[in-house]
Each structure stands twice: as structure tokens, then as C-alpha cells.
Amino acid sequence: MKKGQLLEGLVETVDFPNKGIVKAVEEKEDGTTEERYFVVKNTIPGAKIKFRISKMRKHKSKGEGNFVETIEHSPLERECPCLHFGICGGCTYLCLPYETQLEMKEKQVKKLLDQVLLTGQGDYVFEGIIPSPKKEQYRNKMEFSFGDAYKDGPLSLGMHKRGSFYDVVTVDGCRLVDEDFGLILQSTLTYFQDKEIPYYHRMRKEGYLRHLLVRKAEKTGEILLDLVTTTSMTPDLETWKETLLALPLKGTIVGILHTVNDAVADVVKNEGTDILYGRDYFYEELLGLRFKISPFSFFQTNSGGAEVLYQKAREYIGDIGTEKTVYDLYSGTGTIAQLMAPVAKQVIGVEIVEEAVDAAKKNAALNGLENCDFLAGDVLQVLDTIAEKPDFIILDPPRDGVHPKALQKILDYGVDRLLYISCKPTSLTRDLEAFLEHGYRVERSCLVDQFPFTANVETIALLSKK
């Protein structure tokens, strides 16, 4: 077996997040066989697939391969409800019944936790996975990209093709969002196709259209739109705005924005925003609190799932006492901090995105909470500036987890209990090893499925000092 070779194999299992473990057997000329395992992403357990070897590792048990095609579908699969599945990179498990998805995620994360905790501390309470309240149409935010479906093809607006940095699939009828998103997408695409406005081509560094950001609150129905472009042209956006406002939407457009971004990187970056209509924020409600959200502020993409997640977090935290100081690190727009405020003396949130910190302060005032303080900056630096020491710490870091130096500062506080919320279990388990080495143990852990049909899941772990 060598790099570049085409092989067939059976996907025996899938490790988190979407790493299929494929067994391939090759018959040699002398009649003997060679058996090898490969990691092939975006595959389904029980499927027989064809893949191309991308890496052969002499000193590791598994090589790596790139998926080519399915030879025999898995008995777990159902008829897929989306014609873009397998082409669009948005979903991983849309072809599986929802209950099967939950079982897979639960087994995957339990395996990761067991590898660290059973050897590091012994038994712990694992409470399984809690499903999302909505299985479909649950997302409240989409970042659509402009591009073409193939080289020099017509203008497209949607999601990148799986495994491609350039090709874009126009995802009409996407199962992750409601009909309003589809109407806005199609109307915008048709408008700019008719005007023959070009998209920004990263290789040639020319063109105008970059992204369309759509955010819609589940509880209030408010919709905020932001068209992201370069400054290379000045087309008529007034008519585009009026076209959107005339759409028969179930929700209500409260703001239409135009953001410019001339950076080379393919990210939604704000280098200046104009309000074409309404305002530059919308409101969402969670667990009786009201949140003012700007276009680039972090907010959980599944509002109903966020309520389940935060209710479970409050249950884990319990009654900490009204004389306690709580740190909410990586606090975003301050959702968790505000939920903790009624049962704490003081809550201090730290977040690196200044826009999110500004939103958190406004939200706390909006909800009448006077014991919340939000600080802008990197957790690593900001911790040194806070005089009040914590009695309880809540961690909700980005996907890569806590920076090792920041983690050491958190450990040095020596709080009796802390809560870790993670959207990437592999980062969580890496950080848990450090906590175990410093005398902590995991009391309870559970999963909340914030992202149906994808490979991702939220994990909550309650830790305490031995």
C-alpha cells in the first residue's frame, strides 16, 4: 500500500468529530493479504467506500485517506432529505436518523472522556446526551459566501463545497435554517446576477461581492442582514434593499447593513459598516432575559439548544451562595454571566472581542443586572488586572480550548469547583488532563446537541477539588 493508491474498505466506526476508521485489505501477487486501517473523514459507519491514500505512517497504526465515493451505503442510512448533501460542506450526518446521530455523538465523546478520566481519577457520572429542541431549521445565523459553483461558472451564493476553498453551492432549501433564510438568499443572488456584479476572486484579488450574513432571532423573529463587499465598486444597493423589504417573510427585517472588507483572507471582517435600513442590532430572548446582538457578536447559533445548555449549566452549578464572586471566562455577549448574576455577589466576564463586551454591558443594563462587570482583552493578560479573586469559575473557551499559560493561572486560583463548557471535546479532554494533575476531578458530565446533522456537540463538565 502506498500514497496515491485507490483502495476499498469498510467504515467500522467513526471517531470524533468525523473521522471514519476504515479497514482495507489488499491481496498481493504472492497470494498473501495486507490489512491496514485508515482515517477517512466524512464517512458513515457500516458503509463500504472507495478512498485514495493520502498518508502512510510507518510508526502509527493508521494511515490517512481522502474519500472518493460510496460503493455500498450503510444500513444505518435513510433517504437524504436534501439534494445538496455530500456536495455542500454544511452537514455531515443528514443521511442518518436523528436518534442514530445522538447515539454516535454520545459514544464518541464518552470514549474521549473515558480515556482521560478512567485512568486519571476513576469513575465519574456521565449523563448522556440531551437532544436539541428542534432537529431542523434550528440555526439563527448563516454566513453565506459568494462565488461560483465551478471555475468561471455563474454567480453562486451559499456554502462552500465539501473539501473546496473556492467552489460555492447555492443551498436553496437548506434544512438547518427556516424559509426566510432561503428567500433572502435567492432574492439577493437573483438581484446581483441580473446586475452582473462579480464576486471577489481571492486568487485574482478582484471583484466586489464577498459574504451575506443573515441572523434571525427564534423568539422575537427579528432579522438582521449584512452584505459584505470590497470597495472596488459602488453599485446600487438601494434597490437591493427595497427588494428584500418586499419579501413575504415570516420574520421582520429590522436592519440591513453594508460592511466593507478589503482583506485578502476569506473571513467576514469589519472594516466599516453603513446602515442601509433600520438598525445595526436585533433582539433575542433566552430564559427570561433579553439580549441585544450586533452583527459580529458571538451568540449561540441554536437559541432553543442554548436554553437547554444554560439550564443544564445552572443545574450543575447549583446554589453557590450570594456572597461569591464568579468568573465567566470567554464570556461572549455575557449570556452565562447574566444567568449567574441573581445567585452571586459579583460576576466578572472576560472576552477578547470588544464588540461582544460592549454588547454584554448593554445587555446587563437592559436586564437590570448591576452586579455584572465585563472586561475586554485576552484572558491570559486580563486575569492579572482583576483584584477580586474568584470563588467559582466558568470556562466556555473557543474551539481550541484554553491557552496553556492562561490555564495555569486558572489552576493557581485553586477554586473548589468550576464548570467547563466545550464545543470541541478533544480540546476539553486535553485541558482536563491538566486539571486532574492539579487535584481536580470531574463530578458530572453531559452533552447537549446544539448542532443536529453536523459532527459537533457541546460538552459540560463539573469539576471539584479532591
Does the pLDDT value for residue 346 go beyond 70? yes
How far apart, in whole angstroms, are the C-alpha atoms of residue 436 and residue 120? Answer: 7
User: What is the pLDDT at residue 409?
Assistant: 95
CB-based burial of residue 33 (10 Å sphere; 0-12 exposed, 13-18 middle, 19+ buried)? exposed
Does the pLDDT value for residue 203 go beyond 90? no
User: What is the pLDDT at residue 143?
Assistant: 94
Which has the minimum average pLDDT: 83-87, 142-146, 213-217, 387-391?
Answer: 83-87
Name the nearest CA neighbour of 330 among 356, 367, 295, 304: 356
Quote the cell numbers at residue 337: 454571566
Helix/strand number for the chain, H first, E second:
9, 22
- The residues facing 417 across adjacent strands are 392, 464
Does the pLDDT value for residue 29 go beyond 80? no
Average pLDDT, the chain: 92
Query: Residue 297 carries which side chain, given as an amino acid letter?
Result: S
User: What is the pLDDT at residue 67?
Assistant: 93
DSSP string across 23-63:
EEEEE-TTS-EEEEEEEEES--TT-EEEEEEEE--TTSSEE
**More confident: 49 or 202:** 49
User: What is the pLDDT at residue 321?
Assistant: 77
- The conformation of residue 162, written as its DSSP 8-state character, comes to T
Kindly state the average pLDDT of the residues 423-435. 95
Which has the minimum average pLDDT: 29-38, 134-143, 392-401?
Answer: 29-38
Kindly state the average pLDDT of the residues 98-120. 95
How far apart, in whole angstroms, are the C-alpha atoms of residue 22 and residue 11? Answer: 4
Does the pLDDT value for residue 28 go beyond 80? no
Query: pLDDT, tens digit, for every residue of 296-321?
Result: 888 899 999 999 999 999 999 988 87
CB 443 within 8 A of CB 463: yes
Kindly state the average pLDDT of the residues 130-158. 93
Which has the minimum average pLDDT: 164-173, 244-253, 365-374?
Answer: 164-173
User: What is the pLDDT at residue 60?
Assistant: 67
How far apart, in whole angstroms, are the C-alpha atoms of residue 131 and residue 133? Answer: 6
User: What is the pLDDT at residue 59?
Assistant: 65
Catalytic residue among 82, 91, 95, 423: 423
- Which helix (DSSP H) or strand (DSSP E) does residue 400 occupy? none
Query: pLDDT, tens digit, for every residue of 40-90?
Result: 999 999 999 999 999 987 766 789 999 999 999 999 999 888 888 888 888
**More confident: 370 or 267:** 370
User: What is the pLDDT at residue 149?
Assistant: 82
Which backbone phi and psi does 463 adopt, to 5 degrees? -115, 150
CB-based burial of residue 375 (10 Å sphere; 0-12 exposed, 13-18 middle, 19+ buried)? middle
Beta-carbon contacts of residue 104 (< 8 Å; ≥ 6 apart):
14, 45, 93, 96
Active site residue 372: no
CB 43 within 8 A of CB 57: no
Name the nearest CA neighbour of 17 among 422, 452, 426, 300: 426
Maximum CA pair distance of the chain? 79
Query: pLDDT, tens digit, for every residue of 353-408?
Result: 888 899 899 999 999 999 999 999 999 999 999 999 999 999 999 989 999 999 99
Handedness of CA 63, 64, 65, 71 (dihedral sign): positive
User: What is the pLDDT at residue 11?
Assistant: 96
Beta-carbon contacts of residue 219 (< 8 Å; ≥ 6 apart):
284, 285, 286, 303
Does the pLDDT value for residue 271 go beyond 90? no
User: What is the pLDDT at residue 239?
Assistant: 96
Name the nearest CA neighbour of 394 among 295, 305, 461, 453: 461
User: What is the pLDDT at residue 430?
Assistant: 95
Which has the minimum average pLDDT: 120-134, 261-275, 343-357?
Answer: 261-275
C-beta neighbour count of 307 within 10 angstroms: 18
